[in-house]
Structure 1
């Protein structure tokens, strides 16, 4: 199957520019980068895509056995890298895609020049000596609610995830994004996301890494950003003056500026 059609791959920006790949998180698609991508494309070759099962990807290519672990999503990233022959790549992963980027760089390190981990979380469930932001019961209830009524769950949770209650249009945009996803696919992606424990993968990072966190984020609290920063030697941690879990929508100028500065000077 043609990878570019399968993953709805789009490339914008100057042909000779450094490649910057933007990877979306759970319940999202490449459209959530719409305020950041054009700014980056003024200087960089920006690669946008949808994971299989998201956005305008070829849903017929989705297989539960592949996408029941983050390895399947890393497989999508690496398939695109091979198809476009990407080298010296700066990978920007939002939310769960931050860990997908870590795994991808470990599997084919020669392709990656740097990682930008945007509001990352290697584990959402609290553990001894680790605060992920949720108890095991919290996640069990979240998944049960999602599986019982995905559209209702989306309408309730998306505005909370987005934050910024004074800007309800942002919550509505995320709700609509969630609701475009097939509920059966969303159920698998949610379990893959919220039950993952990728903490051990952080030790595999060997490229310059920028961690971008928000000042307030109910999904990835600042303790998580500090944990990721300490787990990746030499990484940089920047706290954006933003709230919520989607700063590419709520604070696009600051997000694009931090990514561009890192891609230009940090790698």
Structure 2
């Protein structure tokens, strides 16, 4: 393994090699170590950066394999949760900290759950943000129903009427460029009120990059760890946006009810991107959880 910066937790960009494939990650901030895995799958890591958290934590942001400057897998069928979790594990091992906090957003939350179940001894605390313990027909059916209702929620926005078609285009995109373009069009779906923050979000939207995961996030069988949640003894924080169309409070409460002693924070004015819509509340919830978990361990 090699790194482009001196010291595994030195601020800046780092690179290791896992089974001949490049894995890039970025370190910022100070405090307890928190490794963040972004969602998608296939979305560039930058949207998940939370500078306010970096005042409390040493944030380690992965560029998931298959995205950004990280390498690509030779076999497209290898873009599976167990592989994402293995790359996450190699980064955590490289960091050298006895245990770290793991924050997973959306599909990254699936990776985080898989990792916590497989390597509980390496996780000081688990932060499951905008995610679910299960996918499958019911999960996707509920999400698509919310996509269909989106124009009704924003009757004064003509742009909202085209979001459902753009969502289907994103699912069918054949190139990285088409996928990125479609995601920028459907970005309002991921917010309680995108237009209330449109000016502030413009740089993020314009810089959004995405790469097609050939597996489209699908496993040989739908993701489902509900029966295993009771075995998670790690301190866990579940964060959800009240208006999240895809991983909303229904799924968050399922996580909360299934993981003993977990804490649930619902952001009332957020969709799937609560760290952008309610950054102060998000930071307060995560930083407070980490602080209290660290104190309880002493």
Q: TM-score range by the shorter chain?
A: 0.7 to 0.9
Equivalence map 1:1-267=2 (5 Å) = 2=2, 4-5=14-15, 6-14=22-30, 17-26=31-40, 27-34=42-49, 36=50, 38-59=51-72, 61=73, 63-67=75-79, 69-125=80-136, 127=138, 133-134=142-143, 146-148=171-173, 150-151=178-179, 153-166=182-195, 167-169=197-199, 170=201, 173-174=204-205, 176-177=207-208, 180-183=209-212, 185=213, 187-192=214-219, 195-267=222-294
Q: TM-score, normalised by structure 2?
A: 0.73
Q: TM-score, normalised by structure 1?
A: 0.81
* Residue pair 1:214, 1:239 contacting (<8 A) in 2 also: yes
Structure 1 residue 264 displacement after superposition: 0.4
Distance 1:213 1:30, change over 3 A: same
Report the Cα distance in structure 1 between the residues aligned to 2:221 and 2:271, rounded to whole angstroms.
Answer: 17
* Residue pair 1:115, 1:209 contacting (<8 A) in 2 also: yes
Report the Cα distance in structure 2 between the residues aligned to 1:113 and 1:97, rounded to whole angstroms.
Answer: 17
Distance 1:91 1:111, change over 3 A: same
Higher relative contact order, chain-length normalized (CA < 8 Å, sep 6+): 1
Q: Tell me the secondary structure at the aligned position of residue 101 of structure 2.
A: strand
Report the Cα distance in structure 2 between the residues aligned to 1:261 and 1:51, rounded to whole angstroms.
Answer: 27
- Segments of 5+ residues of structure 2 without an aligned counterpart are 4-13, 16-21, 148-164
Report the Cα distance in structure 1 between the residues aligned to 2:231 and 2:105, rounded to whole angstroms.
Answer: 19
Report the Cα distance in structure 2 between the residues aligned to 1:51 and 1:192, rounded to whole angstroms.
Answer: 17
* Residue pair 2:192, 2:269 contacting (<8 A) in 1 also: no
* Residue pair 1:208, 1:266 contacting (<8 A) in 2 also: yes
Structure 1 residue 207 displacement after superposition: 0.3
Show CA shifts across 1:181-211 (max 9, x none).
233x3x4244359943333342331201010
Structure of higher CA gyration radius: 2
Show CA shifts across 1:224-267 (max 9, x none).
11111111111111111332101122222211111100000135
Q: Tell me the secondary structure at the aligned position of residue 283 of structure 2.
A: helix
Report the Cα distance in structure 2 between the residues aligned to 1:248 and 1:193, rounded to whole angstroms.
Answer: 31
Distance 1:182 1:101, change over 3 A: closer
Q: Tell me the secondary structure at the aligned position of residue 242 of structure 1.
A: coil
Distance 1:215 1:182, change over 3 A: closer
Report the Cα distance in structure 2 between the residues aligned to 1:154 and 1:70, rounded to whole angstroms.
Answer: 22
Report the Cα distance in structure 2 between the residues aligned to 1:212 and 1:132, rounded to whole angstroms.
Answer: 22
